[in-house]
Copies of this chain bind each other. A is one copy, B any other.
Amino acid sequence: MIDKSTLALFGNRPHFEKPVACHALFWPSQDEYRAMFRDIFERQYYTNHGPLAQALEQALAERLQVRHAICVTNEFIGLAMLAQALDLAGPVLVPAHASIKTVQSLDWAQVQPVFCDVNPETGMLDARHAAPWLEKHAIGAILGVNAWGGACDLPGLTQLARSADIPFYLDSSQGFGSLVDGTPLGGFGHAEVLSFHADHILNAGEGGVICTQDDALAARIRNIRSNYGMGPSVPVKKTGNGRLSEAQAALALYGLKRIPEYLGHHRRIRAFYAAGLRGIPGISLFQAPGVSLSNDQNLIVQVSAHLLGLSRDELCRFLRTENIMAETGYFQPPGLTPCSLYAESIEDHPHADHFGQTVLELPMHHSLDEAAIAFITGAIEWAHRHAGEIRERLRSSP
């Protein structure tokens, strides 16, 4: 039973002894991981497209149903090298609330972003909002973002890019395991980049993969990624080192076998949240749009301050006093949105701005059980009923 006498904001100990992050890697079986590592040491082959990196690329190509799965040391490098391989002729259209990593990958390939508002229902890029920009600017490509286990308007944007004869590619950082009419994210557009950061359902500590069905594009990406060191040499304007090491590949191969287990865990956690949040005014559980099955990796709610009685940021601060490490957006200093870095205002993109101001991510940490989630949702419900007291207390706290 939650009441003031138990809450940290009112002088008690936090409910969770240690901070509960939004994400944490599922615990691997140390025996299995240890055996993989022993093999790495015995082969004395630590990087440069070693046997584990090759096995991972093959397994990913099969699972994601793509001709080419090209692993990279992190998703940012993948996006920058892909933008370079696409050899773009003009600025790139991106959703106005894309993460800094997504937007700034373009700078390294010497192309500029053009920010576009998103669909007010899905929070993602769609053809209706993108089309006017293609007419106004000489857009060189569309870079969609498949966020929160969902997808942007894949059919509409594919069609729009085709009729403009420009590439359409995707940052699917959070997309591993989601399906669109049964087809895995990874095979859409000219190419997709998926992340294996430790926060994601499939992780390699750091890591990622560029997926494409286009043989010529894949050959250019491989030459760029490995300083001409992999596969037949084709001319490219510049190269670099984006290789995934064997230690990273071992972690990802371990996780790949357990995806069904992880998906099931996400689904159970999500159901507990759905039950606990139902009926709390001002809190709506976000449904991943555009997919037939979501990986449910991100537990996103939208907060209506008017109905809840507290703003999104106030609710976030309250939850954090209990060590519930809710997140209000991609990690960047306050006020530093990608738009502002290019001297633009997010307010010119009202739907993206609205999502940026109302979205809250709650923990999908593997250690959570039904009781833990009942506490989190109970605390939110209590916050609604005692909004005034909480606001006053927050004002007087630093």
Q: A residues bordering B, Cβ < 8 Å?
A: 24-25, 27-28, 30, 33-34, 37-38, 41, 44, 46-48, 73-77, 80, 100-101, 104-105, 107-108, 110, 197-198, 203, 205-206, 227-229, 233, 237-241, 243, 245-248, 251, 331-333, 336
CB distance from A127 to the nearest CB of B (A): 29
- Are A206 and B104 within 8 A (Cβ)? no
- Are B248 and A100 within 8 A (Cβ)? no
- Are A100 and B239 within 8 A (Cβ)? yes
Q: What chain B residues lie within 8 Å of A332 (beta carbons)?
A: 227-229
In the complex, which of the residues A33, A46, A336 has the most CB atoms of chain B within 10 Å of its own CB atom?
Answer: A46
Question: Could you say which of B41, B48, B238, B331 contacts A108, with CB atoms under 8 Å apart?
Answer: B238
A47-B198, A228-B333 known; A241 and B206 CB under 8 Å? yes
A375 to B137, CA, bound (A): 67
- Are B77 and A246 within 8 A (Cβ)? no
**Nearest 10 CB-CB pairings of A with B:** A76-B241, A46-B198, A107-B238, A205-B245, A46-B205, A247-B247, A233-B333, A206-B245, A74-B241, A24-B44
A205 to B24, CA, bound (A): 24
A110 to B106, CA, bound (A): 13
CB distance from A368 to the nearest CB of B (A): 13
In the complex, which of the residues A80, A205, A238 has the most CB atoms of chain B within 10 Å of its own CB atom?
Answer: A205
Question: For residue A27, which residue of chain B has the nearest CB?
Answer: B41
- Are B44 and A28 within 8 A (Cβ)? no
Question: Could you say which of B30, B105, B206, B233 contacts A38, with CB atoms under 8 Å apart?
Answer: B30
Q: What chain B residues lie within 8 Å of A238 (beta carbons)?
A: 104, 107-108
List 16 extra interface pairs beyond A48-B198, A206-B241, CB under 8 A: A25-B44, A25-B46, A33-B41, A46-B198, A47-B198, A47-B205, A76-B241, A77-B77, A101-B241, A104-B238, A108-B238, A205-B247, A227-B332, A228-B332, A233-B333, A245-B248
Q: What chain B residues lie within 8 Å of A108 (beta carbons)?
A: 80, 108, 238, 240
Q: What chain B residues lie within 8 Å of A247 (beta carbons)?
A: 205, 245, 247-248, 251
- Are A105 and B229 within 8 A (Cβ)? no
Q: What chain B residues lie within 8 Å of A331 (beta carbons)?
A: 227, 229
A25-B44, A73-B73 known; A240 and B206 CB under 8 Å? no
Question: For residue A105, which residue of chain B has the nearest CB?
Answer: B240
Q: What chain B residues lie within 8 Å of A46 (beta carbons)?
A: 25, 198, 203, 205-206, 251
A203 to B46, CA, bound (A): 10
CB distance from A94 to the nearest CB of B (A): 14
CB distance from A239 to the nearest CB of B (A): 5
- Are A101 and B41 within 8 A (Cβ)? no
In the complex, which of the residues A110, A227, A331 has the most CB atoms of chain B within 10 Å of its own CB atom?
Answer: A227
In the assembled complex, 23 residue pairs joining A and B whose CB atoms fall closer than 8 Å, in A order, are A25-B46, A27-B41, A30-B37, A30-B41, A46-B198, A47-B198, A47-B206, A48-B198, A75-B241, A101-B227, A101-B240, A104-B240, A107-B237, A108-B240, A110-B110, A205-B247, A227-B332, A228-B336, A233-B333, A233-B336, A245-B247, A247-B247, A247-B251
A34 to B30, CA, bound (A): 9
Question: Could you say which of B74, B241, B333 contacts A243, with CB atoms under 8 Å apart?
Answer: B74
In the complex, which of the residues A73, A241, A243, A248 has the most CB atoms of chain B within 10 Å of its own CB atom?
Answer: A241
